């Protein structure tokens, strides 16, 4: 019988079919055996003592006190009397915190909904104002969490459209960096670390790298910017090196400027060129190359 069989048809088939004993393969009406031999045991009273439920049973999460629950519903005094989270408070919280809070609130709403069913019964007219009031607060918190996250998302999307302004700032910073004196350079390098995270998402410390997510197109743009910035400042201070060195050729030559200081980086580029390994990578090879190189670099650092 398919699922789509109507209930009428279903009931008619039931009434027509007779119970069949499987042992003999012949149809045989069911019969009680001798009633005197059947022993009746005492009825099991449905109280909490007669049930043994594991304290780790997942359905305990629908109860406010978990496995220590003694009554089906809380009294009004035991329910929450606080207010909902305000937008201003939620705006201060990180995504991880909001994510946790979302599920805490969701659990509490589930507990309340279960209690409301126990109190109100299945009748739609009966409703408990106290449950509604608490539930409304929780619902408001949920809505506000969504609003805060969506605000951040909208801001993130809008800033992606301001490419010209970003470029303007980067150019301005580059000019200041190249013209900085030797006294200021450590300060500017600190600024550069913050800037490369702000604009290109390049993590300040190597331990924070998530190679899957962090190495992307923005990262490649960032390396290009940083390498050109550093080498321009180097050429400004050593104009005689400019002609012999030439321009940087692709990611392979740009990466050392992110990982090492300027002198080591230049030496590495020279070594690369000497060993004829300085090739401009195809676009499809860039990200795998970066991932493998940076992961080996991190391993070496840890050792």
Partner 1 sequence: MSWTHHISRFAVNPIKGKISATKYEATMKRMSLPFQGPSEGLKVPPHERRTQIEKGIVTGDLVYINEGEHKGKVSSVIRYLEESDSYMLNNVSEKTLIPKHMWGPGATSHVFDYPIPIPASHIKLAAKDKDDSGKINYVVADKIAFKEKYYDDRYHQWLPRRFVKFHESIEIPWPEPNSLKDDQYCTIEPIALEKSYELQTIAKPPFPKELLSEFRNPYSHHKKRVFTEVQARRINAPNMPLSMEQKIYLAKQASKPKKVLEPLTEEMKELIGSKMAEHINKIDNPALLGHLEHVSKTKVPDFEKTLKSIEENQTSN
Q: Which stretch binds partner 1 (CB under 8 A): 32-40, 112-120, 279-287, 294-302?
A: 112-120
DSSP letter, residue 227: H
Binding-site member from 19, 82, 163, 239 for partner 1 (CB under 8 A): 82
Q: Which stretch binds partner 1 (CB under 8 A): 105-113, 229-237, 266-274, 286-294?
A: 105-113
Query: Closer CB to partner 1, residue 64 or residue 231?
Result: 64
Query: Closer CB to partner 1, residue 44 or residue 59?
Result: 59
Binding-site member from 63, 73, 84, 116 for partner 1 (CB under 8 A): 116
Nearest-10 Cα torsion for 71, 74, 77, 80: 150
**Can you say how many angstroms the Cα of residue 192 is from the centroid of all Cα atoms in its chain?**
28
- The answer to whether residues 214 and 235 touch, using CB atoms and an 8 Å cutoff, is no
284 is written with which tokens?
């499809």
Least distance in angstroms from the C-beta of 289 to partner 1: 20
Least distance in angstroms from the C-beta of 169 to partner 1: 11
Task: Work out whether 198 is an interface residue with partner 1 (CB under 8 A).
Answer: yes
Query: Closer CB to partner 1, residue 120 or residue 228?
Result: 120
Three-state DSSP string of 179-197: CCCCCCHHHHHHHHHHHHH
- The answer to whether residues 134 and 112 touch, using CB atoms and an 8 Å cutoff, is yes
Task: Work out whether 9 is an interface residue with partner 1 (CB under 8 A).
Answer: no
Distances (CA, A) of 256 to 65, 72, 202, 206, 290: 57, 66, 14, 14, 11
Query: Closer CB to partner 1, residue 176 or residue 218?
Result: 218
Residue 142-181 contact track with partner 1, rule CB under 8 A, x = bound: ----x--xx-xx-xx--xx-----x---------------
Handedness of CA 66, 71, 73, 77 (dihedral sign): negative
Distances (CA, A) of 112 to 24, 77, 105, 141: 55, 14, 10, 15
Q: What gap in Å lies between CA 237 and CA 240, rounded to an integer?
A: 9
DSSP E strands, 151-231: none
Query: Closer CB to partner 1, residue 141 or residue 265?
Result: 141
Site for partner 1 (CB under 8 A): how many residues? 49
Q: What gap in Å lies between CA 236 and CA 232, rounded to an integer?
A: 6
Task: Work out whether 100 is an interface residue with partner 1 (CB under 8 A).
Answer: no
Binding-site member from 95, 172, 206, 237 for partner 1 (CB under 8 A): 95
Q: Which residue has tokens 């676009």?
A: 283
Binding-site member from 71, 97, 175, 285 for partner 1 (CB under 8 A): 97
Q: Which residues bind partner 1 (CB under 8 A)?
A: 79-82, 85, 89, 91-97, 108-110, 112-113, 116, 120, 122, 124-128, 131-132, 134-136, 139, 146, 149-150, 152-153, 155-156, 159-160, 166, 194, 197-201, 218
């Amino acid at each position: 019988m398919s699922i789509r069989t109507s209930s009428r048809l279903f009931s008619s088939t039931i009434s027509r079919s007779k119970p069949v004993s499987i042992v003999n393969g012949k149809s045989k009406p069911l019969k009680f055996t001798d009633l005197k031999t059947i022993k009746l045991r005492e009825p099991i009273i449905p109280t909490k003592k007669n049930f043994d439920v594991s304290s780790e049973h997942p359905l305990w999460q629908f109860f406010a006190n978990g496995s220590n629950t003694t009554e089906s519903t809380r009294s009004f005094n035991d329910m929450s009397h606080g207010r909902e989270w305000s937008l201003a408070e939620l705006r201060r919280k990180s995504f991880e915190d909001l994510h946790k809070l979302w599920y805490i609130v969701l659990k509490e709403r589930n507990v309340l909904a279960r209690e409301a069913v126990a109190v109100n019964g299945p009748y739609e007219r009966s409703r408990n104002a106290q449950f509604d009031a608490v539930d409304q607060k929780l619902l408001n918190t949920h809505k506000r969490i969504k609003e805060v996250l969506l605000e951040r998302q909208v801001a993130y999307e809008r800033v992606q459209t301001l490419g010209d302004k970003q470029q303007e700032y980067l150019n301005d910073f580059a000019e200041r960096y190249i013209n900085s004196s030797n006294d200021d350079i450590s300060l500017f390098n600190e600024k550069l670390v913050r800037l490369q995270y702000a604009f290109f998402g390049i993590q300040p410390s190597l331990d924070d790298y998530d190679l899957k997510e962090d190495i992307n197109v923005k990262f490649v743009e960032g390396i290009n910017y940083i390498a050109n910035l550093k080498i321009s400042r180097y050429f400004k201070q050593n104009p005689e090196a400019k002609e012999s060195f030439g321009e940087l050729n692709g990611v392979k030559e740009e990466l050392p400027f992110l990982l090492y200081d300027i002198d080591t980086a230049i030496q590495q580029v020279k070594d690369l060129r000497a060993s004829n390994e300085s090739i401009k990578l195809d676009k499809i090879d860039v990200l795998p190359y970066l991932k493998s190189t940076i992961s080996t670099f991190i391993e070496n650092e840890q050792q």
